[in-house]
Amino acid sequence: MKITTSPAGKRLIPTAVLILLYSYSAMARVGGAGGHSSGGSHSSSHGFGDGGGGGLGIPLSPGMIVVIIIGIVLYTMFKDKLNLGGNNGQPQPLMPSGPQHQFPEGLTPEKIRTSFMELQQAWQQQDLGKVRKWMSDGVYQRFTAQFAMMKKLTQYNRLSNIRIQNIAVASISSDGAYQTADVAISFSMDDEFISQQYPSLNESYEGDTDTEYWTFIKRTDSKISGTDMYNTNNCPNCGAALENTLGEVSRCLSCKTLTNNAAYDWVLSEITQMEDYGGKNPLLNDVNLHELTKNDPLFSIQRMEDIASNVFMQIMEVFTGDNNKKLLRFAESSLAEKLIQQKAAAGGFVFDRLYLNDVTLSQYNQANEKLNLMFTLSATYQRVQLGSRLTALDQEMDVHRFKLVLSKDLAALSKPQKEIAFSYECASCGAPYNDTTNDTCSYCDALVVDTAKNWVLTDFGGY
- 299 in any annotated domain: yes
Could you read off the pLDDT of 240-261 as tens digits, one per residue?
888 777 777 778 888 888 888 8
Mean pLDDT to the nearest integer, 149-161:
94
Strands 41-44 and 267-273: unpaired
- 257 in any annotated domain: yes
Q: Which helix (H) or strand (E) segment is 346 a member of?
A: helix 333-346
Percent of the chain clearing pLDDT 70 (strictly above): 72
Q: What is the CA radius of gyration of the chain?
A: 23
Determine the Cα angle at 249 with ends 381 and 410, to 5°: 85
Integer angstrom CA distances of residue 31 from 28, 177, 403: 8, 27, 21
Residue 405: is it exposed, middle or buried by C-beta count within 10 angstroms (0-12/13-18/19+)?
buried
The three-state secondary structure class of 378 is strand
How many C-beta atoms surround the C-beta of residue 241 within 10 A? 12
Beta strands, E only, 90-202: 155-175, 178-195
Residue 408 has pLDDT above 90, yes or no: yes
Could you read off the pLDDT of 325-363 as tens digits, one per residue?
889 889 999 999 999 999 999 989 999 889 999 899 999
How many domains would you assign to the chain?
A: 1
- 400 in any annotated domain: yes
What band does 10 get if pLDDT is binned at 50, 70 and 90?
Answer: very low
Residue 224 has pLDDT above 90, yes or no: no
- 1 in any annotated domain: no
- 5 in any annotated domain: no
Mean pLDDT to the nearest integer, 203-208:
90
Whole-model pTM: value is 0.78
What is the DSSP annotation of 383-397?
EEE-SSS-EESSSS-
Residue 161 belongs to domain spanning: 12-462
In this prediction, residue 314 carries a pLDDT of 93
- 2 in any annotated domain: no
Residue 424 has pLDDT above 70, yes or no: no
Residue 179 has pLDDT above 90, yes or no: yes
- 385 in any annotated domain: yes
In this prediction, residue 85 carries a pLDDT of 40
In this prediction, residue 313 carries a pLDDT of 95
Ramachandran quadrant class, 236 (left: phi over 0; alpha: psi -120 to 50; beta: rest): alpha
Q: How far apart are CA 78 and CA 55, in angstroms?
A: 33
User: Which range, of 29-38, 119-128, 219-228, 445-454, averages the lowest pLDDT?
Assistant: 29-38
| Three-state SS annotation for 122-149 | HHHHCCCCCCHHHECHHHHHHHHHHHHH
- 3 in any annotated domain: no
